[in-house]
Chain A
């Protein structure tokens, strides 16, 4: 026998799905929302997305080279981070903001902690939190009315999102109007003011369903998150309907694409339910009684930090386990 043979440990067959497969599928799932953001908010949406994505790739390449690590920019994870950083920004932000956001997300939250798989919180949300703290007026304002003009009557560059309206204008007639079908329809389609990627529930759902079919997103976290928000909006003292709470703000984007980030959410099945419910509870608490109009990003960040604890206490029983250790 003159030739050489590979001697490796079983299994000798591998699935064709790789990290790249999963990451690029998520990118594809986000494209409908990307197109929607351009449709509703114009060319600025494209610029912000482009800058965020290119910076994310660039910063990852530079950091990996500096740290002497394998260059993995083609795996698609930096593209996702860039897109999500952009999706969390108002359309009117200065164009240097997405670049700084990507820098924070990629260099500090992701690469310094060890790269893919090692970030302890969602990079895009952490970047948003950093930007909000550093330049609050730029990130909590700079809204643009969508092309088709929900709130067209409002001269509202500072308060043009539905949730921020609720916090500051508790006028009953406005609230009754907000639970009506035309308003809900606009919320679902994305015809409202808000951050670039968060407005169109329909487009986000299309992407999420694609990922569900391919088996690249677990249904438990979105179901628990959205379900908890709906349930709490019936129980807690809010005059807004469950549908309004579900489709407004960043909930759809958060529940479908941010809370479901593999690295920062629990591994165990039970843990995923707890995580989703926890996010839902925190989101409603912040929305109703917190200082901010929207609670999605902080809820998810807080639950991210709780994830290792959740994992430790939700270990499943092994096959044939007779007593709990």
Chain B
């Protein structure tokens, strides 16, 4: 069992129904190599990648197709072997615009770059390891897709004393991290050691929600050789997996508004990212596939699949037995923060942790009622904001007041909109306002 360590919880948050049983406890499968993959040149937070291939080029799995630009950027690699057939602006699954995308058509085989092979990484220096992770194109796989090498290079004046490995997976429906911990605990342990070496940190906490007791057991067993590594079980509450809330719950440290975990001496990494780091160091394998939960009551066999990045959604749904009912909504990500798609042809990207297909009944969109000032939104906001007041100001287009009431600190977790009995589209309101405020600031 996870060591009985004192945890502090965080204010706010709520417990939505989990729907995890749809896809949980089924051994992961490899999704078949798709006929075509679509690789947008922006799949991470930061500056987009620059193409280094052209139409007609032949690529193998692991061939670099995009070069990083600037510090907060990572390269992109081909996830199947074949020919580059298209290089043009195509709709992006997550961003509200068209982005330059590399389309590769499969050659029917699965030929990897010869440089992707097993090696001894124990003699690499910290700088070399960071370079490997950057060159492998690794970003945070928890959903934010932030370039990992940046998170492994804290500034000199910010000493790090604790590494937190995020195995919480607080979003409903998604079970990818859970399965990963059950099946790849040993690899995750190796990955943790690599990160601890890079950051020069002894104390590591692996955080897992209490709805995954088997993962707690397996991870405890896996990290037992190292006494400084502890697995802590936390009470399941959304959004515990959000960095700031997790740090508060585990260490009772509050990351100041506008700052990063670095500023309280902490670094947080998702278990999926840790596994990718291990594979990059051990096998020189770039980020070309990831574990995705394909789930929802509208598909026949929901489960977790190892997906080659760029696989279109319909391929995955077909592999899961196809639709059982008319799909009414397809979500990339989790149900609380995920992005609804307008068709099932869009490709999976680095940050796609889940694909949820909902039926018409589950998608009921009710009309907005008046705000009755019940303050349920305020009770659940993990950032201690006043969502109903913010919404009031936004509807009146008073963006000055909106900024004053700290809209920019909203993490868009969706707790407020979930609880609102009037079904007011709060998060929608906030995303709109953030864009307006940014546009106003750019104009001045």
Taking Cβ atoms with an 8 Å cutoff, the residues of A that contact B are 1, 3, 5-15, 17-19, 21-22, 70, 72, 75, 114-118, 218, 262-263, 265, 267-269, 311, 315-322, 325
Contact = CB atoms under 8 A, between A and B. Distances in A.
B342 A5 contact: yes
Nearest to B313: A1
B20 interface: no
Given A13-B17, A13-B172, A320-B254, 13 more contacts: A9-B340, A9-B428, A10-B337, A11-B414, A12-B356, A18-B369, A21-B421, A72-B369, A114-B370, A117-B371, A118-B370, A262-B374, A319-B244
Closest CB pairs A-B (n = 7): A11-B414, A117-B370, A9-B428, A320-B257, A1-B343, A319-B383, A12-B335
Contacts of A118: 370
B384 A9 contact: no
B217 interface: no
26 contacts: A1-B345, A3-B326, A5-B344, A9-B431, A10-B335, A10-B339, A10-B417, A11-B418, A13-B172, A13-B335, A14-B366, A14-B417, A14-B418, A18-B366, A18-B422, A22-B374, A75-B369, A115-B370, A116-B370, A267-B378, A268-B375, A268-B378, A315-B386, A318-B257, A319-B244, A322-B256
Nearest to B312: A1
A54 to B, nearest CB: 23
A318 to B, nearest CB: 5
B336 interface: yes
- Name the residue among A1, A17, A325 with the largest chain B CB count within 10 angstroms: A1
A320 B336 contact: no
Contacts of B384: 316-319, 321
B365 A262 contact: no
B330 interface: yes
Given A12-B336, A17-B421, A320 B256 contact: yes
B336 A13 contact: yes
Contact of B427 (A11, A115, A268, A269): A11
Contacts of A18: 366, 369, 421-423
B365 A1 contact: no
Interface in B411-437: 412, 414, 417-423, 425, 427-428, 431
Given A267-B375, A320-B257, A11 B340 contact: no
A325 B366 CA distance: 37
B404 A325 contact: yes
B307 interface: no
Contacts of A116: 369-370, 372
Nearest to A2: B343
Interface in B326-369: 326-331, 335-345, 356, 358, 363, 365-367, 369
Given A13-B336, A218-B375, A267 B431 contact: no
Contacts of A268: 375, 378, 386
A286 to B, nearest CB: 26
A159 B382 CA distance: 53
Contacts of B373: 117, 262-263, 265, 267
Nearest to B337: A10
B143 to A, nearest CB: 12
Interface residues of B, number: 68
A121 to B, nearest CB: 13
A11 B414 CA distance: 5
A12 B358 contact: yes
Contacts of A10: 335-340, 412, 414, 417, 427
A188 B367 CA distance: 43
Nearest to A265: B373
Contacts of B11: 319
B85 interface: no
Contacts of A70: 367
Contact of A15 (B244, B327, B404, B419): B419
B155 interface: no
Contacts of A22: 372, 374, 421
Nearest to B385: A318
Given A18-B421, A315-B405, A6 B340 contact: yes
Contacts of A5: 327-330, 340-344
A72 B257 CA distance: 41
Specify which of B248, B340, B421 lies most central, judged by the most chain A CB atoms within 10 Å of its CB: B421
A7 B341 contact: yes
A319 B384 CA distance: 6
Contacts of B255: 320
B161 interface: no
B340 A8 contact: yes
A118 B422 CA distance: 14
Contact of A262 (B254, B338, B372, B412): B372
A10 B373 CA distance: 22
A133 to B, nearest CB: 28
A267 B388 contact: yes
A72 B412 CA distance: 30
Contacts of A311: 389
Nearest to B389: A267
B393 interface: no
Contacts of A7: 329, 340-342
A19 B367 CA distance: 12
Contact of A319 (B365, B374, B382, B405): B382
A318 B375 contact: no
Nearest to A9: B428
B389 A19 contact: no
Interface string B112-132: 000000000000000000000
Contacts of A1: 314, 343-345
